[in-house]
Homo-oligomer: A and B are copies of this chain.
Amino acid sequence: MSYYRRIRDLREDNDYTQSFVAAYLNMKQPQYCRYEKGFRDIPTDILISLSKLYNTSTDYILGLTDKKEKY
């Protein structure tokens, strides 16, 4: 697992709080926070949900591309 800074950057760029994103993901804020800090790997279903929330690709979230736009 790795630390994916982009999930924090995407959240801040959208002016979302951790609590807001956590609620969207049906979890508590401390649990979501662990993904942002890289303490826990991001499960694939969460990765998919985040890509939908931010209208970006999972490749962008994982740092495989610098293109924020979807296909």
The answer to whether A51 and B71 have CB atoms under 8 Å apart is no
Chain A positions 28-71 with a Cβ under 8 Å from a chain B Cβ: 41-45, 47-48, 51, 57-59, 62, 64-65, 67, 71
Assembly stoichiometry (copies): 2
Count residues of A near B (Cβ-Cβ below 8 Å). Answer: 19
**Nearest CB in chain B: distance from A66 CB, A:** 10
Interface centre among A57, A59, A62 (most CB of B within 10 A): A59
Chain A positions 1-22 with a Cβ under 8 Å from a chain B Cβ: 1-2, 4
Which residues of A line the B interface, CB within 8 A? 1-2, 4, 41-45, 47-48, 51, 57-59, 62, 64-65, 67, 71
